[in-house]
């Protein structure tokens, strides 16, 4: 069986500076795969390239059997790849309901959209309570829920989450991680980028450690979690 | 004070004209943060498109039939030029430092003026534009409303209402708001942001064409240089109201129009200010108002304070 997402020797450069220096990995349908690493390792650059916001300078991306490298960003979500970006990037002056509707921008099945909005409210009840409120008034954690809910509204084959726990309180972080476990149990395929290596590795099927634009270590999440060099570098043990 | 209602009516009509043109500045700025200094010329081209349309109609066509056709013809001309400018002059500079598209806009403004001056038949001097015949409306014993003023006072609110509905209710309008607030994330939703940007230019140009027809009907003539000062005033109105906010454009226009009309009528009645009143000083007072408002509210009357993006 071929993977849902296949990344081969991907390179991305900002001008002359190469931020991603030839990485390869794949995501199988139903899996949770995580990219971990410090700031500046190239994780966010990788996701932004997968969703078309950046153009690769080399390598190949194949999603669901189709090459992605030169597909413009606004056509990617239609292929089934949704991206919840780093820093959440909800639309602050639109309401929560309007943000969710924009997540389903390309869908035409009104009844289905309504049902999925209801599902997002079930997943995150606080969003339902505040549906008519401007999204900019939400707390960081609530905005993260909205960003995830919005990404799910396109009914993606693959959900990409970039730093969902960034800047959140421990309680909120736990809630977000629990939600990812829930989504995984429901069969959602997820590519998760995190700085919180402990949390990401403990729920991932497969993990990749990135350092300055390269993947330096790969393996099942639980193996990496117990790998000595990972524990030293990312889990703060010596 | 007996003539106050009249001055208010004059100010409102002038303000509605500014507001209609200001929409074009504010929509484009709201989405691509570009001050399209060529928008005054887009307005002028709308006027020439309308005049051309009028000249092609069989003689004896009543204004009632001619005006809608002139608006359509003017809008075709202005929208064509505005979207071509976006495609060939501004789009290649997206991502360039802000100064580059700004200079391009100023250059484009001069080019468009000179093209009309040089190539439109007889446009080196003002061209006569059809005028409303008939009496003005006598509303109160001290208030006469000219037909051209009535025209814009009816049309401008209708245009604004339609635009407001479009932006808040339609799918494309929602996409436009998303693009203005966060263009990259709008793309992640599947929104073709290039199409939205073209749409913003086109709507602004169409509104400018409506304004140009109203202007021509009022003055009875149009000319290649008509977009310069009016464009500047409309830009002032957009900033005054809070650039990027479509309702702000209309509010800014009306405030500016009223300020001009009232300054013409009343400044010279203030003891010691006789020399500073009248029509000659209206522009000065308009810009003084702008400066004062920006000192107190830098974001404009309806503008939102720009918050840091995380």
| pLDDT of A152 higher than 90 | yes
| Structural domain includes residue B263 | yes
Model-level pTM greater than 0.80?
yes
Can you give the pLDDT at residue A40? Answer: 87
Q: List the single residue in A with minimal CA-CA distance to B304.
A: A93
- Give the per-residue pLDDT at B242: 94
Cβ contact B167:B246 at 8 Å:
yes
Identify from A52, A82, A89 which residue to disrupt to test chain B contact, counting B C-beta atoms within 10 A and taking the largest count: A89
Q: In what order do the strands lie in the sheet containing A58-63?
A: A17-27, A5-14, A58-63, A66-67
- Whether residue B51 lies inside any domain: the answer is yes
What average pLDDT is seen over chain A?
94
- Spatial CA neighbour of A198 closest among A221, A164, A171, A168: A221
The tens digit of pLDDT for each residue in A157-195 reads: 999 999 999 989 999 999 999 999 999 999 999 999 998
The reply to whether residue B189 touches residue A103, judged by beta carbons under 8 angstroms, is yes
Nearest CB to A105 within list B191, B304, B307: B191
Which stretches does DSSP call E strand in chain A? 5-14, 17-27, 32-36, 58-63, 66-67, 81-84, 158-162, 190-194, 206-211, 214-220
Nearest 5°: the CA angle B213, B215, B216 is 65
User: Cα separations (Å) of B225 from B137, B147, B303?
Assistant: 31, 24, 30
Question: B137 in a domain, yes or no?
Answer: no
Q: What is the rounded distance in angstroms from the CA atom of residue A61 to the CA atom of residue A25?
A: 10
How close is the nearest chain A Cα to the Cα of B178, in Å?
Answer: 6
CATH of the domain at B283: 1.10.3470
Tens-place pLDDT, residues A25-47: 999 999 999 999 988 899 999 99
Instruction: Report CB contact under 8 Å: A73, B182.
Output: no
Q: Are B145 and A56 in contact (CB under 8 A)?
A: no
What pLDDT, on the 0 to 100 scale, is given for residue B138? 83
pLDDT tier for residue B307 given thresholds of 50, 70 and 90: very low
Average pLDDT of the segment spanning A57-81: 95
Pairing type for strands B221-222 and B137-140 reads: unpaired
Residue B3: pLDDT band (50, 70, 90) is confident
In a domain, B138, yes or no: no
A206, A216, A180, A181: which is closest to A37 by C-alpha? A216
CB contact under 8 A, A82 and B193: no
Count contacts between A and B (CB, < 8 Å): 67
Q: Is residue B27 part of a domain?
A: yes
- H or E segment and range at residue A110: helix A110-123
Q: Is residue B219 part of a domain?
A: yes
pLDDT tens sequence across B28-67 = 999 999 999 999 999 999 999 999 999 999 988 899 999 9
Using a 10 angstrom Cβ sphere, with 0-12 exposed, 13-18 middle and 19 or more buried, the burial of residue B219 is middle
Q: Is residue B206 part of a domain?
A: yes
Spatial distance between the Cα atoms of B305 and B23, rounded to a whole number of angstroms: 20
In a domain, B121, yes or no: yes
Tokens 């080019």 -> residue: B111
Residues of B at the A interface (Cβ-Cβ below 8 Å)?
A: 171, 174-175, 177-178, 181-182, 184-193, 304, 307, 309-310
Q: Which helix (H) or strand (E) holds A50?
A: helix A43-50
What average pLDDT does the segment B191-200 reach? 97
Range in A69-73, B15-19, B52-56, B112-116 with the lowest mean pLDDT: A69-73
d(C-alpha B61, C-alpha B64), whole Å: 8
Residue where the block lists tokens 């009143």:
B277
Alpha-carbon distance B306 to B243, whole Å?
Answer: 11
Residue with tokens 């060939």: B88
pLDDT value, residue A2: 77
Q: Would the pLDDT of B277 be above 80?
A: no
* Cβ pair A134, A93 in contact under 8 A: yes
Give the domain range for residue B110.
4-131+143-309
Q: Residues 6 or more apart from A146 whose CB is under 8 A from it?
A: A88, A90, A96, A99, A100, A124, A127, A135, A138
Number of domains in chain B: 1
């Amino acid at each position: 069986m071929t993977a849902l997402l296949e990344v081969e020797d991907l390179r991305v450069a900002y001008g002359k500076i190469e931020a991603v220096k030839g990485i390869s990995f794949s995501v199988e349908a139903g899996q949770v795969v995580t990219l971990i690493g410090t700031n500046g390792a190239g994780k966010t650059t990788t996701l932004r390239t997968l969703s078309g916001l950046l153009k690769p300078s080399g390598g190949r991306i194949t999603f669901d059997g189709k090459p992605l490298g030169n597909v413009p960003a606004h056509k990617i979500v239609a292929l089934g790849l949704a991206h919840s970006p780093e820093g959440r990037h909800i639309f602050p002056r639109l309401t929560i309901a309007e943000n969710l509707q924009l997540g389903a921008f390309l869908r035409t099945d009104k009844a289905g959209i309504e049902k999925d909005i209801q599902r997002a409210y079930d997943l995150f009840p606080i969003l339902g309570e505040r549906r008519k409120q401007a999204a900019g008034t939400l707390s960081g954690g609530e905005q993260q829920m909205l960003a995830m809910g919005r990404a799910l509204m396109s009914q993606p084959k693959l959900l990409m989450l970039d730093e969902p726990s960034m800047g959140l309180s421990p309680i909120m972080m736990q809630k977000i991680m629990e939600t990812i476990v829930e989504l995984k149990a429901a069969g959602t395929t997820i590519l998760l980028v995190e700085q919180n290596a402990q949390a990401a590795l403990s729920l991932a099927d497969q993990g990749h450690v990135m350092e300055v634009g390269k993947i330096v270590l790969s393996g099942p999440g639980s193996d990496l979690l117990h790998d000595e060099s990972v524990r030293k570098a990312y889990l703060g043990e010596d | 004070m007996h003539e106050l209602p009249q001055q208010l009516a004059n100010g409102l009509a002038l303000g509605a004209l500014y507001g209609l043109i200001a929409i074009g500045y504010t929509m484009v700025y709201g989405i691509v943060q570009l001050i399209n200094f060529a928008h005054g010329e887009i307005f002028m081209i709308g006027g020439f498109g309308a005049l051309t349309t009028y000249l092609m109609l069989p003689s004896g066509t009543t204004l009632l039939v001619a005006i809608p056709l002139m608006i359509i013809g003017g809008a075709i001309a202005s929208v064509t030029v505005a979207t071509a400018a976006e495609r060939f002059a501004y789009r290649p500079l997206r991502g360039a430092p802000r100064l580059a598209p700004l200079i391009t806009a100023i250059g484009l403004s001069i080019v468009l003026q000179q093209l009309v001056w040089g190539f439109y038949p007889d446009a080196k001097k003002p061209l006569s534009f059809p005028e409303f015949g008939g009496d003005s409306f006598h509303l109160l014993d001290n208030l006469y409303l000219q037909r051209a003023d009535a025209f814009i006072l009816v049309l401008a609110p209708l245009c604004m209402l339609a635009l407001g509905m479009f932006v808040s209710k339609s799918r494309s309008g929602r996409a436009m708001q998303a693009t203005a607030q966060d263009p990259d994330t709008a793309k992640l939703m599947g929104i073709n942001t290039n199409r939205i940007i073209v749409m913003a230019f086109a709507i602004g140009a169409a509104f400018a064409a409506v304004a140009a027809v109203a202007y021509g009907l009022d003055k009875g003539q149009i000319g290649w240089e008509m977009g310069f000062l009016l464009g500047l005033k409309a830009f002032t109105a957009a900033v005054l109201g809070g650039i990027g906010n479509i309702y702000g454009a209309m509010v800014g226009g009306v405030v500016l129009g009223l300020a001009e009309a009232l300054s013409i009528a009343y400044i010279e009645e203030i003891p010691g200010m006789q020399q500073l009143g009248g029509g000659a000083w209206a522009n000065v007072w308009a810009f003084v108002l702008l400066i004062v408002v920006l000192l107190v509210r830098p974001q404009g009357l309806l503008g939102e304070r720009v918050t840091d993006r995380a």
